[in-house]
Structure 1
Amino acid sequence: MVIGAGYAGLTAATRAGRRDRVTLIAPETRFLHRVRQHETAAGHPEHRPAVDQLLRGRRVTHLRARVTELDLLGRKLMTDSGQAIGYDTLVYALGSRTAWHGIPGAAEHAYPAERAAELRQRLSEAPRPGTLAVVGGGATGIELAAELAEAYPEWQVRLVTADEVGGWFSAAGRAQVLRVLERLGVRLYEHTRVTAVGPDGLHTAQGTVEADVVAWAASMEPHALAAEAGLTVAPDGRAVVDAYLRSVSHPDVYVIGDAAAVTLPRVGTLRMGCATAQPMGRYLGRVLSGRTSAPFTFRYQVQCLSLGRRDGLVQLVHGDDSMRPMVFTGAVGRLVKAGIVRLVVAILR
């Protein structure tokens, strides 16, 4: 049984379902292609294939429900419809969600990436253009700010972050990010920690950043169900797993994707994202179908960003995710990123 239909869960289910019967429990009818949510917010066509279409030809039964409770001792789970369902093997792949970090007013007044369609509607139906603040200087925030600034040039876009925008990239990579954002008219507020969000905009330790609309692109956090069920979790809430992606406290439970704290030799603890989630799903699909008994291995290769419709960044990295000096930018960077994003959906099968 697989719970969660994100990058990791779907990939594991489709591969294991080639030979074995699999039950996939997830409320979604369409795949949430999270790495393209900035495009949705900007009004571009959504790329969300139907879950059942992705499962076609596999021995997978999709139960549209939300898991609310896990009974690890009794090997069963509860859903929001009140069903109690037993399992033989459990794959926990509930993934992550945008974190509010306890900031007052954020959940009430800001649009997270999961509500990209609502953000698009809000911007499109506004009686007049105004100021849009994007909170978060990571990959999601950068892509969102660039896409929105290009799609809605009459809006004044602000990018607010507690750190540096793209500060983890190489010098050439960060320079490309800053160059494109400047060209698109995005105003940066670096080293600016948000303390509250209100109808007037952002309140920070450095003062108020006025905004008519706030988009929230802070870091991600795992769902709390793993900790609530009794799985051993890391300080960030992800379930700690062994070399075979089994829970260290409950070896009969596999945990993959953003829900798993995976630490590998010479690589470190893997970051959240589809770049790590899908390889876990592919590996576990082979394990469940008996095609491998080797431990999980992984090495990073690139990090990439789309920077609007005409520009992009492909940053080469070492296997441990540290930066190499070489980058690809402009149309080449954009095309490579677009190709990778399209490949993600193909890999789901």
Structure 2
Amino acid sequence: MVVGGGYAGQLAANLAARRTSGRVTLVNERDRFVERVRLHQVAAGQRVREHALADLLRGTGARLVVDRVTRIDPRTRTVELAAGEPLRYDTLIYAAGSRADLASVPGAAEHAFGLADVEQTVRLRERLARGGTVSVVGGGLTGVEAATEIAESHPRVAVRLLTDGVLGAGLSARGRRHLARVCARLGVEVREGARVVEVLPDGVALAGGAHLAADTVVWATGFTVPRLAAESGLAVDEHGRLLVDDTLRSVSHPDVYGVGDAAAVRRSNGQELRMACATGLPTGQWAVRVIGARQAGRAATPLRFRYINQCVSLGRRDGLIQFVRADDSPREAVLTGRLAALYKELVVRGALLAQRHPWLPTAPRG
């Protein structure tokens, strides 16, 4: 049983159906696979092709159940659904994913738009079509991609990017300089040290009392995970992410594995992996590898993972590839411009290709 049909879950279901001896069921609330790394393009009004989960699973023998999981009962090994009858599992892969953190400040859930699900993104696209002023809150990679994509696609829209720290704080000096140049070229107003404490119907309130007017507020400060694991009695961390060992197995329930954003996965040195497609895909693959090994009576190999780069699209004609060390800290080396935009596009297409061909390598092993 795989709970969640995002990058990690759909790949895991597809691969498990091909590489293990089990009967595989994928449970997902929607019948479509969402290319979440393209949602900023959807928000900007670009046409992005949709993909049916049934098409991605075709020929594998995996069963697709379109429903919302309301509870996991680890004692009886059943998954309870919002509409259908409960489903039983022997082994469960928990891939519930993440969503925009709209509860971190007052008013965000009511007045801001997140970029983590299709429905909110479509509503944001409709709002942006009216024009006006847009404030993107969050200076991380999601906020940067959203602000530059909107500014390029809607040159008459005034775009402001707000961050409570330094823009591109996780980038090298060369990366930050390129990011600043692109924002200036696209007319994106950047405000550093601007901590938003409330989202209002007509803009945002900053720490210190300042009010910044905006017709549209885009919330890109981070992600949170569903409460499903915690409410089902599985061991989780303080953020609600499933606690797993170095083979991605739940520390409290050995028949449950965690992958992707909803699992607190760590490297061998203890570093927790960040929420990203770049970590979701290899953890989905590794969990299936471990399950297959244990089915065959072999020893499970601990996860081996290292970071290579961070890929940032800056509109359709520019980009930034920040090369990083194994621990995700930035090197000074970067790739910028049109070549970087092409690089990022190839990475995004590769992530989708892995959903159809889940055995393709998605990260170096060791």
- Alignment TM-score > 0.5, same fold: yes
- Equivalent in 232, 236, 241 of residue 239 of structure 2: 236
User: Which residue of structure 1 lines up, in the alignment, with residue 322 of structure 2?
Assistant: 315
Structure 1 residues 267 and 326, CA gap change in structure 2 (3 angstroms): farther
- Displacement after TM superposition at 1:306 (Å): 0.3
Give the TM-score normalised by structure 2.
0.92
Q: Distance in 2 between matches of 1:102 and 1:259?
A: 18
2:273 is matched with which residue: 241, 261, 270? 270
Distance across 1 between alignment mates of 2:171 and 2:240:
26
Q: How far does the alpha carbon of each residue in 1:6-40 deviate from its partner, in whole angstroms, 9 at most, with x for none?
A: 11101110001115420000021111111110100
How far apart in 2 are the matches of 1:26 and 1:76?
Answer: 15
- Tell whether the 8 Å contact from 2:138 to 2:219 is kept in structure 1 after alignment: yes
Flag as ranges the 4+ runs of structure 1 deviating above 2 A: 285-293
- TM-superposed CA distance for 1:240, in Å, is 1.2
Match of 1:53 in 2: 55
Q: Give structure 2 stretches of 5+ with no counterpart.
A: 357-366
Amino acid at match of 1:64: V
Q: Which amino acid in the other structure matches residue 195 of structure 1?
A: V
Contact 2:6 2:95 in 1 (8 A): yes
Q: Does 2:123 match 1:121?
A: no
Deviation at 1:250, TM superposition (A): 1.2
Shift, 1:82, TM fit: 5.0
In the alignment, the residues of structure 2 paired with residue 82 and residue 345 of structure 1 have an alpha-carbon distance, to the nearest angstrom, of: 29
Aligned to 1:111: 113
Report the Cα distance in structure 1 between the residues aligned to 2:24 and 2:63, rounded to whole angstroms.
6
Q: Is the aligned partner of 1:297 residue 2:304?
A: yes
Deviation (angstroms), 1:227: 1.1
Tell me the amino acid that sits aligned with residue 314 of structure 1: I
Equivalent residue, structure 1, for 2:360: none
Match of 1:2 in 2: 2
For 1:8 and 1:47, how far apart are their aligned partners in 2?
19
Letter in 1 for 2:125: R
- Cross-structure match for 1:161: 163
Pair 1:195 & 2:200 matched: no
* Residues 53-62 or 231-240, more deviating: 231-240
User: What amino acid is the match of 1:265?
Assistant: S
Q: Does residue 178 in structure 1 map to residue 183 in structure 2? A: no
Q: Which amino acid aligns with 1:104?
A: P
Identical pairs, percent: 47
Residue 44 of structure 2, aligned match among 42, 45, 50: 42
1:285, distance to aligned residue in structure 2 (A): 2.3
RMSD, aligned α-carbons: 1.4
Shift of 1:188: 1.1
Give the secondary-structure state (helix, strand or coil) at the position aligned to 1:38. helix
Cα distance in 2 for residues equivalent to 1:103 and 1:144: 20
Contact 1:283–1:296 at 8 Å: present in 2 too? yes
Structure 1 segment 22-41 matched on structure 2, within 5 A: 22-41=24-43
1:215 positional shift:
1.0
| Counterpart position of 1:258 | 261
1:283 corresponds to 2:286: yes
- TM norm structure 1: 0.96
Q: What is the rounded CA distance, in whole Å, between the counterparts of 1:192 and 1:185 in structure 2? A: 18
322, 327, 332: which is aligned to 1:325?
332
Unaligned runs of 5+ in 1: none
Distance 1:110 1:348 in 2: 31
Question: How many correspondences in the alignment?
Answer: 346
Contact 2:67/2:84 (8 A) holds in 1: no
Question: What secondary structure, in the 3-state scheme, does the structure 2 residue paired with 1:74 have?
Answer: coil
